[in-house]
Structure 1
Amino acid sequence: MILYYYAKTKSRQSKLMTPGMELRTEILSVRRSNVSNARNKELFSRGNNDEGPLAAPTASSSIGRASSLFKRHNVTSSFSACLKQQDPSQNHAYGEHLEYVTVFDDEDEYDAARSTWNHAKLHLQFPNIIAFPASAEEVSLVVKCTRLSGQYICARNGKHSFESDTCTYGVVVDVSKMKQITTLDGRLEGKESPVVRLGAGLTLGQVAVEVVKLGLVVPMGSCATVGLTGLTLVGGQGPLSRLYGMLSDYVSAIELIDERAQIVLATASNEYADYLWLARGGGSGTHHFPGIITAIELSGLPSSESSSSDTKSYIDFRIEYNPTVENAVQMLSDWQKLHMDPKYINDPLFNRITMEPWIFVDAAKKGYGWKKKVFLTVYFYGTAKHRSDFRSRYMPMLKIIFTGTTKAKITNWQYHTSIGFQRYLAGVKSNKKLASGKHGWNINDRWKGYSAVVSKAVSNKAFRILAEGILESQPMSKRYVELKPLGGEIKKMDKSETAFSHRDALWWSLTNHFFPDDINMTSTHADSIRTESRRHHQSFVDAMGGSFSGYYAGYIDRGSSNTLHPSRRELELYYGGNARRIKSIKTKRDPQNLFRVYIPEALSHSVKQGSVALSGAVQAEY
């Protein structure tokens, strides 16, 4: 296990500390050992009545960070002392020895460890400790020592927090080293495929490379570097969701470390069933899951429809438009009507088609100016018979609907194998790169994003506001909006069966506004992008009227306001009728709010000790 401790370099320390005081920074390597669950429970049965985590320091000024440096020294020293108690000379449960190496906060190792996919708040993120455990036992050890040292925990998998959330103070537990894949012998009742146990640290690309060898399909998202666990916790929508349902629909058990540092296996039939229900689409975004997931078991996965690994079972192409506001509105309107037409949505073949509209503005590759794009991405999956039916039954209709009046063109027609399709979505050419976790669209960029979930048809007026905001609003910056169709097999489960509640939604949107590479994030220019992007998104939501039904937790927006329903609770906007149960489980299973997802700006109004991460007003309503 590797742990990075935060400290200022000597040149920076002189400005913050009294002469002669030093902060020690360490990397501890703790060799993994096999510890039985029984031994682990005995080891951590003590200390459960300890005081809760210390109140996180406010982050409203640099003075707060400077004054908290002494607190950092105290808590990291306490954490280190807890680890040393596991030294073989005192306790043979963990490792053979501890090794200490000095590392400072301006060195590459620490910067790489603390950074997330979205760098918008990287200048604020300096966790006390970043841990990379390799087993459930090591995670348990970190949780115990975090509690005893009076800190909070943020868990991390693929670093893909949409809002760039991570612990600024406290302990980050990164489970990315936990990548085991095991096929279990048993099959659940009524399920034909085997149970597959996946380590919590796997990315979607890594899952795709390995699970395809089992002849199975995992219905997951389209970004290969997203973490399996993070996607599961918000539901898990992707190109095959309308055909097979959400990723979280297939989760039959989870292994986790609870707030008492105990290793727990949660199933639908044991005393920990509430953990499992919450993990299936309701365990992230507005709040942190009340534990750290170390493994996920999937059951009932569909079998691949490819006759061999060389079978090209996927088709993808684009319908490209001249990038005008009028064409964008027409595209969105036609697309929405198609997904509400009973003639199509009741046809099983239609669920094999995924159409995603995009409106995109990017910097021109040469010279100055901006390149605008309006296009519809189309994916299809199926057997040779399905593909033949798609070409004969649906392609003529798509040409008439989407190219008849706008003179749009069909481009980039391609066929893919199952794994080739995943490489295409990831923008890589090899399975090795796909499974590396070291690639990704917009990686290390900085942006502000928003979402909107729609339950009924949206007017062309709202679509026009959306299109104008992307293509014409000032200040001009890189930005895009994409719409993702829902329905199909997503509706197969009742809203209360899992924590994911947007079962009846028509579609949802994802909007991203990017900051230039050279911009200062505290500058007036950065503020103008934030202000305009929020104004644009709120105008779009307001224009939806009663069609707007909430937000998607996978695209969390800290600071969102809801002028349509100002009395509705924040959790209800993300989780609908499941909000109260979600809040109840979080409070019951993590009464001290040990596990958190937060950033400095949110500390004063979104994170309250001993409760789920809600604003004060929302908290009072519960």
Structure 2
Amino acid sequence: MDSELDQAQPAGRPHVHHLVDRRTFLRVAGVSAAGAVAAACGPGGSPAPVASSTPAPTTSGPPATRLPTSPPNWDDLRGQLSGSLLRPGVDGYDTAKRAFNPLFDSKNPVAVVAAANTKDVQASVQAVAGRASIAARSGGHSYAGYSVPDSGLVVDLAGLNKVQVQGSQAVIGAGAKLKDVYATLAQAGRALPAGSCPTVGIAGLTLGGGIGVLSRKYGLTCDRLSSAQVVMADGRVLKAAADSEPDLFWGLRGGGGGNFGIVTEFTFDTDPAPDVTVFSLHFPAGSAADVLSAWQQWIAAMPPELWANCVLSGGSPVQVRVGGCYVGGAAGLNTLLNNLTTNAGARPTQRTVKSLDYLGAMNYFSGSSNRQSFVASSRIITSPVDAAKVVALADGRTGTDLLIDGLGGKVGEPAKDATAFWHRDALASVQIYAPATAKTQQKVAQSVGEVVAGLAAAGAGGGYVNYIDPALPDWKNAYYGENAKRLQDVARKYDPDNVFRFGQSVVA
């Protein structure tokens, strides 16, 4: 539902403990959460009570296949809602329609529903299905702006933001932001592997997979999903779990936000909150190829307790830094870092190592909540690539960053078809991120596309759906590989009329 995500959601990270802007934290960290449904920011606080109006999930049956084509009755829908409905031209609409990225401010949905509960989501889907496109928005971080459809309905889930810890499990509303999820979990001494950007919605992040700084130790966010409550195309509410709607449950774990239905609530299995040692290494100019080459061999050999990225900042010369965290103490981490610097043959110009509690570490990797204008895409490294070729792609591209996030460890344990997330055998993901304005967007997008093509030529193919890119060649295969066929089967079963459709949706 970055994330996309994000439809979509995404995210990133920093080399110092103070807050930085999104571009900086993305450059230094580069984790994300994006995909296909997104969310808005909200203050952290006590968990909201479970709405008494939440309908009980039903069992599956054949969804309706006859859809109306007449215009929605907006006044009738407004009367059914506990939340609000805004149409173009009314006060608050221009703010309510906004996504995280200002490049999508020109998009004009036909209406924005601020859902107060699951019943509001049901009513919205039943009123609009077949008459206009429908996009859920959890955090609003969709890299492609899919959560703000032109002439479509935005179902804003920001009000469904409860975070409740129940023993070893956490029940989280689809509109909850990562900053609030982390704060509430930490208060209860629990942890969930997730992304970095504080305003990414839990929904888009989870539905696209959920890469984060603790992924190598604890797995993807979607791997911790126990069940999900989903509003389907015909307005029914289903519970998706291993023993209830297993096909839908499979598709929700990495199939991308915005597909199949609108998730309104997640239940996750959590772990005891660990203490974490964070680190940042800045290397001298001219060492980027040597560092990246050594990093690829090093991260593959590291224990799962260590997560690290390698960030290439475009320019002349290309700058390089390595950052990350270690579930353990500084002494053990320093030994591992020394191994990297020795193999890279480059002495860091700056080295920072700091021990923090779980919440402190999540805040360290967090960034500002300010909106950011950017163009981005992704590739996946499965086997080590030619570092010199990758660095050459960043040469002269000032402002463009390649954020190479280590995978492996717990991420690689499930079979590639165990969930919809295909890239279980990946060594790393690569996010290509470049700031842009409305005037420079086309030029920047062309530059990003050149880097994407160059990475593929260097051996980094595929793509991560939470860094969703409308221009990515062969996107279905890039995101889903051989899982694409089963995802289409899931769509055919649960959304045969493609009610939840967008530019890169999984269609029946």
TM-score over 0.5 (shorter chain): yes
**What is the 5 A alignment of 1:523-602?**
525-544=440-459, 548-561=460-473, 570-598=475-503
Once residues 85 and 358 of structure 2 are traced to their aligned partners in structure 1, the CA distance between those partners, rounded to angstroms, is: 45
Is 2:283 the partner of 1:321?
A: yes
Is 2:125 the partner of 1:143?
A: yes
Change (3 A) 1:134 1:526: closer
CA contact (8 A) 1:274 1:585 kept: yes
Which amino acid is the alignment partner of residue 376 of structure 2? G
CA radius of gyration, larger in: 1
Change (3 A) 1:418 1:260: same
What are the Cα deviations for residues 565-610 of structure 1, in whole angstroms up to 9, with x where unaligned?
xxxx532221112110011111221111111334xxxxxxx67xxx
Change (3 A) 1:413 1:110: same
Could you say which residue in structure 2 is the equivalent of 1:172?
A: 154
Which amino acid is the alignment partner of residue 490 of structure 1? V
Once residues 422 and 111 of structure 1 are traced to their aligned partners in structure 2, the CA distance between those partners, rounded to angstroms, is: 32
TM-score by length of 1: 0.68
**What is the 5 A alignment of 1:308-387?**
313-324=275-286, 327-340=287-300, 344-345=301-302, 350-361=303-314, 373-382=319-328, 386-387=329-330
2:67 pairs with one of 18, 31, 51: 51
1:152 pairs with one of 133, 151, 162: 133
Q: What percent identity do the matched residue pairs reach?
A: 23
1:540 partner SS: helix
Once residues 458 and 100 of structure 1 are traced to their aligned partners in structure 2, the CA distance between those partners, rounded to angstroms, is: 50
**What is the 5 A alignment of 1:350-429?**
350-361=303-314, 373-382=319-328, 386-391=329-334, 393-402=335-344, 405-427=345-367
What are the Cα deviations for residues 112-156 of structure 1, in whole angstroms up to 9, with x where unaligned?
211111222322x100111111111111111111137x1221011
Which amino acid is the alignment partner of residue 466 of structure 1? L
Could you say which residue in structure 2 is the equivalent of 1:303?
A: 272
Could you say which residue in structure 1 is the equivalent of 2:393?
A: 466
What are the Cα deviations for residues 320-341 of structure 1, in whole angstroms up to 9, with x where unaligned?
12334xx11111111012134x
CA contact (8 A) 1:252 1:297 kept: yes
Change (3 A) 1:413 1:493: same
Which amino acid is the alignment partner of residue 319 of structure 1? L
Once residues 207 and 256 of structure 2 are traced to their aligned partners in structure 1, the CA distance between those partners, rounded to angstroms, is: 5
Change (3 A) 1:130 1:464: same
CA contact (8 A) 1:119 1:164 kept: no
Once residues 51 and 299 of structure 2 are traced to their aligned partners in structure 1, the CA distance between those partners, rounded to angstroms, is: 53
Change (3 A) 1:417 1:194: closer
What are the Cα deviations for residues 220-254 of structure 1, in whole angstroms up to 9, with x where unaligned?
11222111010001111111111111111111110
CA contact (8 A) 1:224 1:422 kept: no
What are the Cα deviations for residues 374-401 of structure 1, in whole angstroms up to 9, with x where unaligned?
211132222xxx443333x324323423
2:71 pairs with one of 61, 72, 75: 75
CA contact (8 A) 1:229 1:293 kept: yes
Once residues 505 and 51 of structure 1 are traced to their aligned partners in structure 2, the CA distance between those partners, rounded to angstroms, is: 41
Which amino acid is the alignment partner of residue 327 of structure 2? Y
Which amino acid is the alignment partner of residue 145 of structure 1? A
Gapped regions of structure 2 (runs ≥ 5): 1-49
Could you say which residue in structure 2 is the equivalent of 1:250?
A: 224
Gapped regions of structure 1 (runs ≥ 5): 1-31, 55-73, 87-93, 185-192, 306-312, 363-369, 428-438, 562-568, 599-605, 614-622
Which amino acid is the alignment partner of residue 597 of structure 1? F
Could you say which residue in structure 1 is the equivalent of 2:172?
A: 198
User: How much does 1:319 deviate?
Assistant: 1.5
Deviates more, 1:459-468 or 1:131-140: 459-468
Poorly superposed stretches of 4+, deviation over 3 Å: 32-38, 47-50, 98-103, 370-373
User: How much does 1:452 deviate?
Assistant: 0.6
Which amino acid is the alignment partner of residue 381 of structure 1? V
2:190 partner SS: coil
Could you say which residue in structure 2 is the equivalent of 1:566?
A: none
CA RMSD of aligned residues (A): 2.9
Change (3 A) 1:199 1:244: same
1:211 pairs with one of 161, 185, 195: 185
2:108 pairs with one of 126, 137, 144: 126
1:238 partner SS: coil
CA contact (8 A) 1:118 1:446 kept: yes
TM-score by length of 2: 0.82
User: How much does 1:48 deviate?
Assistant: 4.6
CA contact (8 A) 1:465 1:540 kept: no
2:129 partner SS: helix
Which amino acid is the alignment partner of residue 467 of structure 1? A
What are the Cα deviations for residues 500-550 of structure 1, in whole angstroms up to 9, with x where unaligned?
11111111100112214xx53xxxx54332223212321222122xxx341
CA contact (8 A) 1:572 1:579 kept: yes
CA contact (8 A) 2:86 2:112 kept: no
CA contact (8 A) 1:140 1:257 kept: yes
Once residues 84 and 264 of structure 2 are traced to their aligned partners in structure 1, the CA distance between those partners, rounded to angstroms, is: 25
User: How much does 1:457 deviate?
Assistant: 1.5
1:120 partner SS: helix
Query: Higher relative contact order by CA 8 Å / sep ≥ 6: 1 or 2?
Result: 2
What are the Cα deviations for residues 393-445 of structure 1, in whole angstroms up to 9, with x where unaligned?
3243234234xx33432333333221111222224xxxxxxxxxxx43xx432
User: How much does 1:194 deviate?
Assistant: 2.7
1:597 partner SS: coil
What are the Cα deviations for residues 291-326 of structure 1, in whole angstroms up to 9, with x where unaligned?
110100112x22123xxxxxxx222232112334xx
Which amino acid is the alignment partner of residue 37 of structure 1? P
Change (3 A) 1:279 1:532: same
Paired residues, what number? 455
User: How much does 1:283 deviate?
Assistant: 2.9
Could you say which residue in structure 1 is the equivalent of 2:264?
A: 294
**What is the 5 A alignment of 1:53-132?**
54=69, 75=71, 78-84=73-79, 86=80, 104=89, 109-123=92-106, 125-132=107-114
Change (3 A) 1:449 1:100: closer
